[in-house]
Amino acid sequence: MHSVEAEHDREGLNMLASKRILLILGGGIAAYKSLDLIRRLKERGAAVTPVLTRAAEEFVTPLSVSALAGEKAYRDLFDLTDEAEMGHIQLSRSADLIVVAPATADLMGKMAGGLANDLASTLLMATDNPVLCAPAMNVRMWNHPATRRNHKQLIADGVRFVGPNDGDMACGEFGPGRMSEPLEIVAAVESALSDGPLKGKRILVTSGPTHEPIDPVRYIANRSSGAQGTAIANALAALGAEVVFVTGPADVPPPQGVQVVQVETAQQMSDAVDAALPVDAGVFAAAVADWRIDGASDRKLKKSRDGMPALQFAENPDILKRISHLETGRPSLVVGFAAETDDVIAHATAKRARKGCDWILANDVSPVTGIMGGAENAVVLISDAGAEEWPRMGKDAVAARLAEKIAAALAR
Ligand code: CTP
């Protein structure tokens, strides 16, 4: 093998060899990142056919796009030469995957509503291939009820998503709406094209702690690092699942190539979980605060003026229990966690019944085990079949084993 190819193979850079990607660029400032995306996809061996909407041409030129792709950039539905060359039906089916990046609010709206009035939207209507969207828009547009509806509809239609990320936006605001980085999109492309046993399955993972505010500067939290939930999300994505990762403020960086939804409080996590449905399976690895402060102060509590605060608590929604009891749209498999310090199997078995979930992964978090915040875990899987003790192993190995088991259960 040629040495450069060998190098690429070692680094997994040839993962997309012989794959054809139809890349639709919508009209948003994030289109500049799609130029780098083309390079990254090509580096991994993929062929990229670019398609620009009219609005995309305001942000990047067809020339730069086609030069990077090494292919013609398709531009307009009514270009008769193109129709003679390759009709839009054929074009839409010639790819292994259609990637929409940036997926603007407008494009998402057209897709959800079934509109087909230009080349990009017509290709998206005509295709029978999988579609991956990398949304990019202003945070208010992302949060607008119309976009929320369209997002839900597209998920129900089987469209996959990567991002958007939280962050500073070109328009000067902050929040969800930034397009995922090119390498994150590449990871999502690899996952979407993977032939793993979880191909075509959409799986939700909650992870990390929640922060419950006392006042604008203080909060109640716990010691969860998010390491186990992140490892599970990575392991599921590696088997080809489309993962939605709802995370509280964690210590570890979020997984790659999945849809990351960042939240702070239990209530926000509960809302984000609802927004992510429907899913085939849900893994609830987050350490959710059972209580929040009832009527958190909107100004900083002052020692001198307020004396010792009398904190009133209110119960948070139990996300795992609620999802386990859904009458319509319950995931086929619901997996919870139980952190115990004694009588692990007895407590976890009772918790499984109380929560109504299918499996509970129980672990002993007493300080002597060093598990909470550590790199290893020793779990017992409680299911209908009884208790299965797993040997102590790295959190990545626990995640890989759980992902395999989930794949086997969903294949049944
Ligand atoms: N969970 C949840 N929403 C909550 C609380 C917990 O989804 N408001 C989920 C967790 O993600 C985890 C499981 O429920 O999967 C843990 O249940 P919980 O009752 O919180 O167990 P422990 O933290 O072990 O606490 P306790 O033993 O006090 O019941």
Number of folded domains in the chain?
Answer: 2
Domain's final residue, options 144, 177, 210? 177
The low-confidence residues of the chain, meaning pLDDT below 50, are 1-10
Structure tokens at 371: 């598990």
Domain's final residue, options 128, 161, 177? 177
pLDDT of residue 89: 83
Which of 290, 322, 324, 361 has most ligand 1 atoms within 8 Å of its beta carbon, as the pocket-test mutant?
290
Are residues 92 and 208 part of one domain? no
Q: Which residue type occupies 173?
A: E
What pLDDT digit, counting tens, does each position of 255-295 carry?
988 889 999 999 999 999 999 999 999 999 999 999 999 98
Are residues 220 and 287 part of one domain? yes
Range of the domain at 130: 3-177
pLDDT of residue 8: 44
pLDDT of residue 4: 43
Are residues 218 and 147 part of one domain? no
**Axis crossing angle, helix 145-156 with helix 105-113, rounded to the nearest 10:** 50
Are residues 110 and 252 part of one domain? no
pLDDT of residue 101: 98
321 annotated ligand-binding residue: no
> Is 187 inside any structural domain?
no
pLDDT of residue 81: 66
Residue-by-residue DSSP string for 143-198: HSHHHHHHHHHHHHTT-EE--PEEEE-TTS-EEEEEPPPHHHHHHHHHHHH--STT
Q: Is 323 in the pocket of ligand 1 (CB under 6 A)?
A: no
> Is 22 inside any structural domain?
yes
pTM: 0.86
Are residues 206 and 173 part of one domain? no
pLDDT of residue 83: 66
> Is 192 inside any structural domain?
no
Domain of 93, CATH number, reads: 3.40.50.1950
Catalytic residue numbers read 171
Alpha carbon of 338 to ligand 1 centroid (Å): 7
Q: Kindly report the protein residue whose alpha carbon is nearest to atom 17 of ligand 1.
A: 338
pLDDT of residue 285: 97
pLDDT of residue 148: 95
Are residues 227 and 160 part of one domain? no
300 annotated ligand-binding residue: yes
Alpha carbon of 352 to ligand 1 centroid (Å): 10
